[in-house]
Amino acid sequence: MSIKRYRVTGRVQGVGFRYFVYREAQAMGVDGWVRNRKDGTVEALVEASDEEHAKLARRLDEGPSMSRVTGVECIDEPDERLASGFDIRRDGS
């Protein structure tokens, strides 16, 4: 298990992107959170296996039907245990 921070750019706010990520994460049973950022991107912090991260990255690149993803940045984070479950957080910086 590893933790990765995802930052998704494009038309990703106001199109149900956070709920899309939430549903995908719930279906995979991974831990973490997702939120809108003030700069118009969507950010997610996810603890998952390498296989689950690869699957999630592909799904983030696709996005929900109303979105238009132009990029998915993925950064390795320190391996600290995240709280159990997956949440949608309030907008962040």
The CATH number of whichever domain residue 35 belongs to comes to 3.30.70.100
Number of domains in the chain: 1
pLDDT of residue 92: 66
Domain assignment of residue 86, yes or no: no
Residue 14: burial class (beta carbons within 10 Å; 0-12, 13-18, 19+): exposed
Domain assignment of residue 84, yes or no: no
pLDDT of residue 67: 96
Kindly report, residue by residue over 57-91, the tens digit of the pLDDT.
999 999 999 999 999 999 998 877 777 888 898 87
pLDDT of residue 89: 84
Catalytic annotation present for 81: no
Q: Are strands 42-48 and 86-88 parallel, antiparallel or unpaired?
A: unpaired
Please check whether residue 64 is in contact with residue 55, taking contact to mean a CB–CB distance below 8 angstroms: no
pTM for the complete prediction?
A: 0.89
Which candidate in 5, 7, 18, 59 is catalytic? 18
pLDDT of residue 93: 60
Q: How far is CA 6 from its chain centroid? A: 6
Which candidate in 5, 36, 58, 90 is catalytic? 36
